[in-house]
């Protein structure tokens, strides 16, 4: 059995997860990006739809989209199709469910579950899409517009946010949309297992945040090393 202090350390780590590669600089960039992204999206959408400054045309789930887009731009959940497709498609799913299920609580559950299935099938899984589906299924004055609500403001908001994200990431020299780079060619041979320090050095060298905890990343690397050892022992290629 692990000592009490070790168990407490594990509990503390579980309750306070850290985003891999999220330096202070990355956090500041994410905060500034979200500030500009949401403010400009509301301003521009208001100008496009109303022809004046007026009230920002925004939906609540867009805030969660901004967190993914600016804090973890390397995440598959934060890519352009995930944001635009996930939010817009989920809005249509919510509208369809609300049209056939009048009971709000049941409609809410079916809408979120169905949105997850549809987003997964269309390869645009985006967590805020669940919030969009829930918002639409529960209805309200803004949603009374029906199908048009899925296009404006949901679809328009998502498109504008992604467009602003593309510009912002380009200016801050962050790769977006994220495309996994090919693994570096090793020069020399490795005669010992990777250490935690090696993993930390690799994360620091990448210079971006990843949507995975460091412990999970280390475990995956260890499993890959073990698979390589087993493959070598059997002579498989």
191 Cβ contact list (under 8 Å, min separation 6)? none
Residue 210 φ/ψ, nearest 5 degrees:
-120, 145
User: What pLDDT score does 147 carry?
Assistant: 83
User: What pLDDT score does 144 carry?
Assistant: 62
User: What pLDDT score does 226 carry?
Assistant: 81
User: What pLDDT score does 50 carry?
Assistant: 75
DSSP 179-190: -PPPPPPP-S--
User: What pLDDT score does 66 carry?
Assistant: 98
Judged by DSSP in three states, 20 sits in: strand
pTM (global) more than 0.85: no
User: Is residue 41 within 8 Å of residue 34, measured between CB atoms?
Assistant: no
Query: Using one digit for the tens of pLDDT, what is the confidence trace for 203-212?
Result: 788 777 777 7
Low-confidence ranges of the chain (pLDDT < 50): none
Q: How many CB atoms lie within 10 A of CB 126?
A: 30
> How many Å apart are CA 151 and CA 18, to the nearest integer?
36
> How many Å apart are CA 73 and CA 177, to the nearest integer?
7
Residue (of 73, 84, 160, 159) closest to 122 by Cα position: 84
């Amino acid at each position: 059995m692990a000592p009490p202090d070790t168990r407490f350390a594990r509990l503390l780590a579980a309750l306070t997860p850290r985003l891999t590669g999220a330096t202070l600089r990355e956090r500041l960039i994410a905060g500034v990006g979200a500030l500009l992204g949401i403010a400009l999206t509301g301003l521009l959408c208001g100008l496009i739809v109303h022809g004046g400054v007026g009230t920002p045309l925004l939906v609540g789930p867009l805030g969660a989209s901004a967190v993914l887009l600016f804090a973890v731009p390397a995440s598959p959940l934060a890519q352009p199709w995930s944001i635009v497709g996930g939010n817009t498609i989920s809005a249509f799913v919510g509208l369809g469910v609300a049209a056939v299920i009048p009971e709000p609580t049941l409609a809410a559950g079916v809408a979120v579950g169905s949105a997850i299935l549809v987003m997964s099938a269309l390869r645009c899984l985006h967590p805020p899409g669940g919030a969009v589906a829930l918002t639409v299924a529960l209805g309200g004055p803004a949603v009374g517009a029906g199908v048009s609500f899925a296009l404006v403001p949901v679809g328009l908001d998502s498109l504008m946010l992604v467009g602003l994200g593309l510009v912002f990431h380009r200016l801050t020299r962050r790769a977006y949309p994220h495309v996994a780079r090919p693994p570096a060619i090793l020069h020399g041979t490795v005669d010992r297992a990777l250490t935690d320090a090696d993993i930390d050095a690799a994360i620091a060298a990448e210079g971006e945040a990843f949507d995975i905890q460091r412990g999970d990343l280390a475990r995956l690397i260890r499993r890959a090393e073990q698979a390589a050892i087993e493959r070598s022992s059997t002579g498989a290629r």
